[in-house]
Amino acid sequence: MTDLLWLIPFMPIAGFTVLVLAGSRLPRSVTGTIGTGTVGLSAVVSMLLAAGFGVKGDGYVVTQTLWQWLSVGDFSPRFSLYLDALSLVMVLVITCVGFLIHLYSIGFMKNEEGYSRFFAYMNLFVGSMLVLVLADNLVSLYLGWEGVGLCSYLLIGFWYRDSANGYAARKAFVITRVGDTALAVGLFLLFTNLGTLQIQELMQRAQAEWPAGSKIAVIAAALLLAGAIGKSAQLPLQTWLPDAMAGPTPVSALIHAATMVTAGVYLIARTHVLFTLAPPVQSAIAIIGAATLLLAGLSAFVQRDIKRVLAYSTISQIGYMFLALGVGAWSAALFHFMTHAFFKALLFLGAGAVILAMDHEHDIFKMGGLRSRMPVTFWTFLIGVASLSALPFVTSGFYSKDLILKLAWSSERGSVWLWAAGVAGAFITSLYAFRLLFVVFFGDRLTRAKSDPGISMTAPLVVLAALSVAAGLAALPEPASGRQAIQQFLSGVLPAAHIRDERTPELFLLLIASCASIGGMLAAWLLYVLFPRYAEGLVQTRAGRSVHRLLFTGWGFDRIYDRLFAGPFLWLTRINRDDFIDLVYEGAAWYSGVFHHLLGLTQTGKVRWYAFGIGLGAIITIGIAVFL
Amino acid sequence: MAPVPIEGVLVLAAVLFTLGFAGVLMRRNIIFILMSIEIMLNAAGLAFVVAGSKWGQPDGQVMFIFILVMAGAEVSVGLALVLRLFHRFRSLDADAAGRMKG
Amino acid sequence: MTVEWLILIPLIGGVLAWIGGRRSSLLPRLISVASLGAGLAMTASLWNASPPVAGRTAGQAWIAEFNTSWIPQLGIGFHLGLDGLSLLLVLLTFFLGIVGVLCSWNEIKERTGFFHLNLMLVLTGIVGVFLSLDLFLFYFFWELMLVPMYFLISIWGHEKRAYASVKFFIFTQLSGILMLLGILGLYFIHGRSTGIYTFDYTQLLGTRLTPGQSLWLMLGFAAAFAVKLPAVPFHSWLPDAHSEAPTAGSLILAGLLLKTGAYGFIRFLVPLFPDAVESVRLIGMVLSAAGILYGAALAFSQEDLKRLIAYTSISHMGFVMLGIFAWNELSLQGAVIQMVCHGFSTGALFVLAGILQARLHTREMSAMGGLWAVTPRMAGMGLFFGLASLGLPGLGNFIGEFLVLLGSYRVSGLVTAAAATGLIASALYSLRLMQRVFHGPKRDDLTMADIAVRETTILAVMAAVIVVIGLYPGPVLETSKPAVEGLIQKGNPSLTPPGRGPGAVKPGGESSGEMLR
Amino acid sequence: MNTPFVIASVVAVVSTLMVITRTNVVHALLYLIVSLLSVSLVFFLLGAPFIAALEIIIYAGAIMVLFVFVVMMLNLGPQSKTQERMWLIPEVWTGPAVLAVILLGELVYIFASTGGITTSGKTVPAGDVGFALFGPYLLGVELASMLLLAGIVGAYHLGRRGNDDEQKEER
């Protein structure tokens, strides 16, 4: 049964090829079933394989070698799939959430043209993401890595008619490509120094040959981190994610919330040995995580476009995962990835339903009181928001975020400041989450809105809502080790976080975290339901307006990058369009022309002029002969 | 009579040669140019003869004879061309036939 | 027996096509396709007839060899040799030749006979360059390539064809002469030191040269090859020649002529002058990295579609040159793969550009845009080949670039990092190409037929090849493996016989401690 | 110093100078003849009587007469005097004059440095010249004859009136 592993990535890619070759000729219903079916099948197969793992997770691994990709000298990577506990979690989330989103997009894209093209790209995306997650060497990981980057480009620019979407797609691809190049250079460095790119072998050799904190390890880890930052839209390469909302909503749900943006988290988790060998880089991860979660959270608080709020929220939540990775709580990061995938996908799909109902209206302040018009969407959106803001005990978000905060405090590499940043982030998260909820679903109904969308769209919402609550069960403490089920499951692959000293005030941390999330909810209630005028007033003040503009533009990173990189590059290339080196050769040609003209003038046709020339020549030669 | 000093004759030849050369450059009338060329040829011949007389060998004079022959042929053809030129351009201006230029 | 037929077939085909041209404009096309097909079939038969790698000892390096004397007094022999590397390139030549003939099926209307004669002569020259093992014969074919290509551009080209063809001719001719000086210098030095005056490659390999001689002769050869493989300072003939040439012309220019320069570097330059190359290795790598970035930056800002594709091939060939100067097995195999895949991807892009120009009568991208709705199949193909040229993993170009960078990292980390930023730049220009030509607002004033069956099959075959090389490059690597190993043996200064010039410099592997090492 | 030589050379120089500066062609021709005669005297003084005679017969006699014929045929005479004067304005001849003076300076500088050698004073009879002509220089004589033949044919062909392209010209 384990040799069915190759089916998981193969099915979506097969779906892609079928849809690309025959897509436009198939009726819509068939395209939809093919697109969704393939992902569903991989979901089923991955669940079957998951059964084999059981809960014990004692380093059980399924590998399958497909074929020898390359063999040149000592570099001979194989196409082989490597499924262990970590990849299983990723595969399960990707395929299940992917399946639900495909189901949703059958309804969402019903009356859009380019239907088969959409499903083809979505299948290609799921396929490349699965290749990325199941890769057993860094080169095929890189193949999946670029594949998902490509699909995000294709899907963001799906409505290619509007060139703004094209610009957003190119911006996303180029910025992630910056990270990918750093990752590629990291790969070269690793191969040249350690002789292999097989992940497991690489880790053992790194551990054996590189002392902790050696310069080469730090550089390698830094390059891998740069790759992860590019793909997971962390500081400083996060400007592309808010613009990536130009794509259809299911795309944002699948790619820019659940799966692709967490590829960076997976990469760091997969190569955690390298990061433990480079402590400065690991603390850098934590700091980046903390900074990103604060900045993105604040920016999310002032956005007007429903999808941009969620985009900034994604950046902020991934900041939490990076924080967890930074403090060495590997499995906590994975746990938060799982819960985040569920509730963020739910929020995006809910937003998609709302947008569809308001016929493509994105501005939340033009919506209101949808509570009564769209009950199912409202309730599922409420669960999503609750889970996002980690309402205590009832939502899965709480368990994963609390675990991260606890470990941020108690872990060896953690510190009080990181914990404080986390808690502040939690407060802001619930603030903007509930603001979104109240503005969109409460208040007086401003405009007309259609009712709940069809079953194919509401079903995934309900399932995701259930999942974002049920996922909390994974946090049930294991009777034997007292550690949480998810941690136990992943213990085979990811080492447990080293706790600094035993006496962490468990209860105190729990209390503070829940106060933060409930406090955020209440504040949002106050600002946006009881005294909406007050919030407006606050923004009008001069200081308020400048802060608002700073936050709204995502801390002005776009403007900085335009002036620093995009502007000069465009200006330079436009000026140099005709290639100044060409001018050198044009100049040579021009000078020979001038020289030819001057020579031409000396031939005047007058006999006496020529005699004069002869005489002059005679004089000069005699002069030289006689005097020199 | 005293033997003739070589450089005296050579200087004479040089003077005659330069005068002929100046004549070629100065005058625009083709006849004058041809005449100046004759002067230059004669000066060259003089130099040959004086060289020959220094060693008492006839070679200098043989060379002079060749120069004479060449001068004769050259003048005959030259003047025939001058006639044609005159018919063609109606004037003896050397610069009139300046078509081949640039 | 068969190797010299690889050269005779296109030659005879060309002449027949020319004669056929008088009778009907269709006949030359058929003759050309037939002869090129025959050539392709013969090379393919040589390929699977070639003994498996294990069976072949290092000595008997050539898959097929043909050697007769041509001008014995001067020591010039008609010596042809086919090994793994040249076999791949000859296959590429015949394939792109057929594609060239097919895609100019209805583009070239007048004087088709003469057109096909020139086309076949260029192909003969190229095949000759890839096969010849006698420096004089190599120079003969090097010049043979030049004149027919000049005619192709200047007669059937577009607006500025005269300017472009003359510029192309001067650039290549001038550098060709410098190479001739190099060849003759080598000839005489070898003759003086060993007494036998010969142009034969295998004998000239071992000539003992002082560092000064070796450097100057190497620069002579390098001039010709650097111009043909457009290394940056000498590249400015390429954009003009490409944008003004007819589709078949620019296809062969980009697909094959650039490869002759790279082939020259691999076969002749490095093995003949290992020490000189060792001393300029870093400069060469820096130059190629500059070439990658400069080519890409220029490609980004072009408005003319064909000029844009031309600059992209400068950037891609920069990778090949980087691989050559790094001179280890990884980078060389990468360079071979990059050459083959660049031939396909850029060739296909030029076919597309030709199709667009035939339909829109312009190459300006401002006149295009929104073509995805109008011609979905062509747009799909354009997307595929655009992605191939930006080095998307899973396609052949990525394998080439990845191996080159992997190999060159051993020599110097910094240069490789700089060259790697070329990946970002390639993304920039490919996506801009996609945006300006295929995406963008709907153009209802543009009604164009989608690409015909003939063009779709050509492009589909090329796409298939790129995907196969991307996912399973095994067979290609196996063929070029023995040839590359043999060349590395010859080209590596430290391994050459002792007593060669000053103390052998450490081989490329352990160069000075780079910060990144 | 050899007085007859000095007189002859002074006469030669002055007459050549007059040849260049005259505006009337015929006067210039006559001065040229005087110059040739004085040079033939110098030849005589140098002990080359045969050459002196040849100079007078061929050079002064034949070539100059040819000139006179052409001048008469083109009846240049007096009326072209104004045109000549117009062509001989100072700014025309200053350049060549300067050039000639420089050339003269260089030549004189060269010849002056030969230092006091004198001619052998021995006259070379015409017989020796004859022997030399038909001895070692036989080839030269043959070539000279061919040259003359070419000269004759050329002159005849070019000088013929009634040449077809001239007809075209006039019609």
C303-335 tens-digit pLDDT: 999 999 999 999 999 999 999 999 889 999 999
Tokens of A33: 């079933």
Mutate which: D88, D99, D102, D106, vs A, most A CBs within 10 A: D106
Q: Is residue C341 part of a domain?
A: yes
A590 contact partners, CB below 8 Å, separation of at least 6: none
Q: Assess contact for A156 and A41: CB atoms under 8 A.
A: no
pLDDT level of residue C509 (50, 70, 90 thresholds): very low
* Helices assigned H by DSSP within C266-395: 270-272, 274-301, 305-326, 329-360, 371-374, 376-389
Q: Is residue C510 part of a domain?
A: yes
Determine the Cα–Cα distance for residues A422 and A425; give it in Å rounded to an integer: 5
Determine the Cα–Cα distance for residues C185 and C196; give it in Å rounded to an integer: 14
Q: Given D95, D103, D110, which is nearest A619 (Cβ)?
A: D103
pLDDT level of residue B2 (50, 70, 90 thresholds): low
CA angle D112, D117, D119 (to 5 degrees): 120
Q: Assess contact for D119 and D46: CB atoms under 8 A.
A: yes
Q: What is the DSSP string of D42-98?
A: HHHHTT-HHHHHHIIIIIIIIIHHHHHHHHHHTT-TGGGHHHHHHHT-HHHHHHHHH
Which chain A residues contact residue B28 at CB under 8 A? 608
Could A607 and B100 be called an inter-chain contact, meaning their C-beta atoms sit closer than 8 Å?
Answer: no
Could A605 and B21 be called an inter-chain contact, meaning their C-beta atoms sit closer than 8 Å?
Answer: no
CA angle D105, D109, D115 (to 5 degrees): 150
Q: What is the pLDDT of residues A321-359, one digit of tens each?
A: 999 999 988 888 988 999 999 999 999 999 998 888 888
pLDDT on residue C517: 35
Helix (H) or strand (E) segment spanning residue C66: strand C64-71
pLDDT level of residue C502 (50, 70, 90 thresholds): very low
Is the confidence at residue B46, as pLDDT, over 70?
Answer: yes
Q: Assess contact for D66 and B83: CB atoms under 8 A.
A: no
Mean pLDDT value across residues C178-206:
90
Which chains form contacts with chain A, at 3 or more CB pairs under 8 Å?
Answer: B, C, D
Cβ count within 10 A of residue A283: 16
User: Pick the residue with more confidence: B96 or C237?
Assistant: C237
A458-487 in b/e form (b: 16+ CB < 10 A) is: bebbbbbbebbbebbebbeeeeeeeebbbb
pLDDT level of residue C51 (50, 70, 90 thresholds): low
Is the confidence at residue C56, as pLDDT, over 60?
Answer: no
Mean pLDDT value across residues A157-175:
90
Tokens of B31: 């006849």
The closest alpha carbon to A45, from A14, A21, A23, belongs to A14
Is the confidence at residue D141, as pLDDT, over 70?
Answer: yes
Is the confidence at residue C466, as pLDDT, over 90?
Answer: yes
What count of Cα atoms within 13 Å lies in the side-chain half-sphere of residue D5? 24
pLDDT on residue C185: 92
pLDDT on residue B91: 78
Q: Assess contact for D107 and B20: CB atoms under 8 A.
A: no
What average pLDDT does chain C have? Answer: 87
Could A605 and B98 be called an inter-chain contact, meaning their C-beta atoms sit closer than 8 Å?
Answer: yes
Determine the Cα–Cα distance for residues C258 and C235; give it in Å rounded to an integer: 11
Which chain D residues contact residue A623 at CB under 8 A? 106
Q: What is the pLDDT of residues C160-177, one digit of tens each?
A: 889 999 999 999 999 999
- Side chain identity at residue C257, one-letter code: L
Helix (H) or strand (E) segment spanning residue D135: none
Burial of C59 (0-12, 13-18, 19+ CB in 10 A): exposed
Q: Determine phi and psi for D119, rounding to 5 degrees.
A: -70, 160
Tokens of C129: 């360059």
Determine the Cα–Cα distance for residues A139 and A79; give it in Å rounded to an integer: 9
Q: Determine phi and psi for A450, rounding to 5 degrees.
A: -75, 170
Is the confidence at residue A609, as pLDDT, over 90?
Answer: no
C240 contact partners, CB below 8 Å, separation of at least 6: C160, C163, C164, C167, C168
Q: Determine phi and psi for A579, rounding to 5 degrees.
A: 60, 95
* Helices assigned H by DSSP within C24-111: 27-49, 84-103
Q: In Å, how far is C383's CA from the nearest CA of chain A?
A: 10
- Side chain identity at residue C26, one-letter code: L
Give Cα separations from A594 to A581, A605, C154 (angstroms). Answer: 20, 20, 25
Q: In Å, how far is C69's CA from the nearest CA of chain A?
A: 38
Determine the Cα–Cα distance for residues D171 and B89; give it in Å rounded to an integer: 15
Determine the Cα–Cα distance for residues C459 and C456; give it in Å rounded to an integer: 5
Omega prior to A236 cis, within 30 of 0: yes
Spacing of C-alpha A295 from chain mean position: 17
pLDDT on residue A546: 86
Give Cα separations from A419 to A280, A316, A395, B18 (angstroms). Answer: 19, 15, 21, 108
ipTM of this complex: 0.81
Q: Determine phi and psi for C52, rounding to 5 degrees.
A: -60, 155
Is the confidence at residue D171, as pLDDT, over 50?
Answer: no
Q: Assess contact for A218 and A281: CB atoms under 8 A.
A: yes
Q: What is the pLDDT of residues A13-64, one digit of tens each?
A: 999 999 998 878 888 889 999 999 999 999 999 998 888 776 555 667 888 8
Domains, chain B, in order of start with CATH, read 29-90 (1.10.287.3510)
pLDDT level of residue B83 (50, 70, 90 thresholds): confident
Q: Determine phi and psi for A67, rounding to 5 degrees.
A: -155, 165
Is the confidence at residue D140, as pLDDT, over 80?
Answer: yes
- Side chain identity at residue C88, one-letter code: L
Does pTM surpass 0.90? Answer: no
Number of residues in chain A: 628
Q: Assess contact for C480 and C323: CB atoms under 8 A.
A: no
Query: By mean pLDDT, which of A254-263, C291-300, C312-321 is the weakest?
Result: A254-263
Could D155 and B21 be called an inter-chain contact, meaning their C-beta atoms sit closer than 8 Å?
Answer: no
Give the domain extent around C514: 280-517
Mutate which: C287, C331, C424, vs A, most A CBs within 10 A: C424
Which chain B residues contact residue D74 at CB under 8 A? 82-83, 86, 92
Q: Given D2, D46, D55, which is nearest B50 (Cβ)?
A: D46
Q: What is the pLDDT of residues D20-44, one digit of tens each?
A: 888 888 888 999 999 999 999 999 8
CA angle C366, C372, C373 (to 5 degrees): 110
Could A612 and D102 be called an inter-chain contact, meaning their C-beta atoms sit closer than 8 Å?
Answer: no
Query: By mean pLDDT, which of A463-467, C138-142, C152-156, C202-206 is the weakest?
Result: C202-206
Could D96 and B59 be called an inter-chain contact, meaning their C-beta atoms sit closer than 8 Å?
Answer: no
Q: Assess contact for C151 and C118: CB atoms under 8 A.
A: yes
pLDDT on residue C4: 86
Mean pLDDT value across residues C422-430:
92
pLDDT on residue C493: 66
Determine the Cα–Cα distance for residues C20 and C114; give it in Å rounded to an integer: 10
Q: Is residue C29 part of a domain?
A: no
Determine the Cα–Cα distance for residues D50 and D123; give it in Å rounded to an integer: 10
A458 contact partners, CB below 8 Å, separation of at least 6: A353, A376, A377, A380, A452
Is the confidence at residue C462, as pLDDT, over 50?
Answer: yes
A508 contact partners, CB below 8 Å, separation of at least 6: none
Report the SS3 class of residue C497: coil
Is the confidence at residue A443, as pLDDT, over 80?
Answer: no
Report the SS3 class of residue C214: helix
CA of A597: which chain B residue's CA is closest? B102
Determine the Cα–Cα distance for residues C485 and A154; give it in Å rounded to an integer: 41
- Side chain identity at residue C420, one-letter code: A
pLDDT on residue A486: 78
Q: Assess contact for A287 and A234: CB atoms under 8 A.
A: no
Determine the Cα–Cα distance for residues A354 and A253; give it in Å rounded to an integer: 14
**Could you tell me which residues are beta bridge partners of residue C76?**
C71
CA of D92: which chain A residue's CA is closest? A608
Q: Assess contact for C96 and C252: CB atoms under 8 A.
A: yes
pLDDT level of residue D143 (50, 70, 90 thresholds): very high
Determine the Cα–Cα distance for residues A424 and A293; give it in Å rounded to an integer: 9
Q: In Å, how far is C310's CA from the nearest CA of chain A?
A: 13
Is the confidence at residue C210, as pLDDT, over 80?
Answer: yes
A402 contact partners, CB below 8 Å, separation of at least 6: A390, A509, A510, A513
Mean pLDDT value across residues C393-409:
93
Q: Is residue C39 part of a domain?
A: no
Q: Given B76, B81, B84, which is nearest D66 (Cβ)?
A: B76
Could D20 and B32 be called an inter-chain contact, meaning their C-beta atoms sit closer than 8 Å?
Answer: yes
C175 contact partners, CB below 8 Å, separation of at least 6: C223, C224, C226, C227, C228, C234
The closest alpha carbon to A488, from A339, A272, A334, A286, belongs to A334
CA angle A344, A349, A350 (to 5 degrees): 95
Q: Is residue C159 part of a domain?
A: no
pLDDT on residue C496: 41
Q: In Å, how far is D125's CA from the nearest CA of chain A?
A: 35
Q: Which residues of D touch A (CB under 8 A)?
A: 95-96, 99-100, 102-103, 106-107, 109-110
pLDDT on residue C504: 36
8-state DSSP, A364: G
Which chain A residues contact residue B25 at CB under 8 A? 608, 611-612, 615
Determine the Cα–Cα distance for residues A509 and D118; give it in Å rounded to an integer: 130
Which chains form contacts with chain B, at 3 or more CB pairs under 8 Å?
Answer: A, D
The closest alpha carbon to C96, from C397, C401, C459, belongs to C459
Mutate which: C235, C389, C409, vs A, most A CBs within 10 A: C409
The tally of domains found in chain C comes to 1
pLDDT on residue C505: 37
Q: Is residue C26 part of a domain?
A: no
Determine the Cα–Cα distance for residues A193 and A287; give it in Å rounded to an integer: 28
Could B10 and D111 be called an inter-chain contact, meaning their C-beta atoms sit closer than 8 Å?
Answer: yes
Q: Is residue C285 part of a domain?
A: yes
Determine the Cα–Cα distance for residues C152 and C253; give it in Å rounded to an integer: 10
Which chain A residues contact residue D95 at CB under 8 A? 612
User: Pick the residue with more confidence: D80 or A116?
Assistant: A116
Determine the Cα–Cα distance for residues A300 and A524; give it in Å rounded to an integer: 13
C71: left (phi over 0), alpha (psi -120 to 50) or beta: beta
